[in-house]
Structure 1
Amino acid sequence: MSIRHGLLALLERGQMYGYQLRAAFEESTGSTWPLNIGQVYTTLARLERDGLVRPLPENESGQRPYEITDTGRADLALWFATPISRGDRPRDELAIKLALALTTPGVDVRAVVQNQRTATMRALQEYTRLKYSSDKPEDLPWRLVLDAMIFQAEAEVRWLDHCETSLVRHRPPPARPVEHPEAVDRAGDEARR
């Protein structure tokens, strides 16, 4: 999810200032995506520059709320209507890490896989615990986020199992040290004596 569209969606609910947007964003995602207040204000500045939001006069507390514009609503509607493609998602750091581990001398790839599996299983247990910690209807948005995280963790564990199986099947056994020919000749001479 882009922060840009997340903030637009929150502003569609009504006017908000930076700290309200941050709190609403974290509440909507069940605090699974912590948002830095600096990111909120930087994104608001870009949204204002692009004509998607407009600042309102400061309130009595000195906070400046923002509201979504018609252009912002159109951009948000397009975002909701457009599927997310696999190419739009960040690179998979774990896949890159394992590919590099396979080609980097001295790396115990099986240990890399096992360490990741352990961490992913811990995360999976925590997500599951959080999911069942509340059944209130207003918690549905963050439970759906947790479901997505659970499914991703489960898929990662399956992929790690596949990686481990592939390592066993395709990884050649460690090479035996090659003895120098003179050493072989000497060993043969000693055996004949």
Structure 2
Amino acid sequence: MSIRHGLLALLAQGPRYGYQLRAEFEATTGNTWPLNIGQVYTTLGRLERDGLALRGAEDPDGRFSYEITPEGLAEVRRWFTTPLLRDERPRDELAIKLALALTSPEADVRTVVQNQRTATMRSMQELTRLKSGDAEPAWRLVLESMIFQAEAEIRWLDHCEAVVLRGLSPSPSPSPEYSPEPSHERA
């Protein structure tokens, strides 16, 4: 998720100060992505420069509130309705680490997999414990997403370990022409 779009989504709810935006962003995401206040103000400056937000007058406490512009509202609506593609997300550091471990004499791949599985299991248990409390709906969705990702990672790690134990290389990667989008042709 881009901080830019996250701040725009909050501004779509009404004018906010920078510190309010940071606090609401972190509360909504359950502090899974803490923001540096400098990062918030830098992003607000860019939103203002790009015509997506306006800075209001200074209040008696020396704070400026920001509000979304019609262009900013159109941008946040576009963001909400546009799906994220897998190739637009950050690189998967774990996949890269395991691929390199397979080729490095310095790494025991089974140990790498087992250590990661243990860490992921602990993380999943903690996330599940947090979910059992009275979580706000937005935070609950974030928690559930993180739990599902942890479950998928554990399944993938099990697969990696099975591949290593069999002494086989992983199945070949799809060709560059591979498209993750389903075919709409009918048989």
The residue number in structure 2 matching 1:59 is 59
- TM-score (norm: length of structure 1): 0.85
Where does the alignment leave 5 or more consecutive residues of structure 2 unmatched? 170-187
The structure with more helix, counted as a fraction of residues: 1
Cα deviation for residue 39 of structure 1 reads 1.1
Deviations 1:75-106 (A, max 9, x none): 11110110000011000000000000000113
Among 133, 152, 155, the alignment partner of 1:155 is 152
Where does the alignment leave 5 or more consecutive residues of structure 1 unmatched? 173-193
Matches of 1:37 and 1:119, distance apart in 2: 30
Matches of 2:38 and 2:116, distance apart in 1: 31
The residue number in structure 1 matching 2:183 is none
SS in 2 for 1:157: helix
Deviations 1:110-136 (A, max 9, x none): 11101111110111011111111115x
The residue number in structure 2 matching 1:10 is 10
Q: How many residues align?
A: 169
Deviations 1:108-163 (A, max 9, x none): 1111101111110111011111111115xxx0000000000000000000000000
Cα deviation for residue 38 of structure 1 reads 1.2
Cα deviation for residue 171 of structure 1 reads 4.8
Matches of 2:105 and 2:148, distance apart in 1: 33
Give the CA RMSD over aligned residues. 1.1
The residue number in structure 2 matching 1:180 is none
The residue number in structure 2 matching 1:45 is 45
Matches of 1:59 and 1:150, distance apart in 2: 42
Alignment of 1:80-99 (within 5 A): 80-99=80-99
SS in 1 for 2:64: coil
Code of the residue aligned with 1:146 in structure 2: it is L
Runs of 4+ in 1 over 6 A off after TM superposition: none
- TM-score (norm: length of structure 2): 0.88
Matches of 1:41 and 1:115, distance apart in 2: 39
Q: Does 1:144 align with 2:141?
A: yes
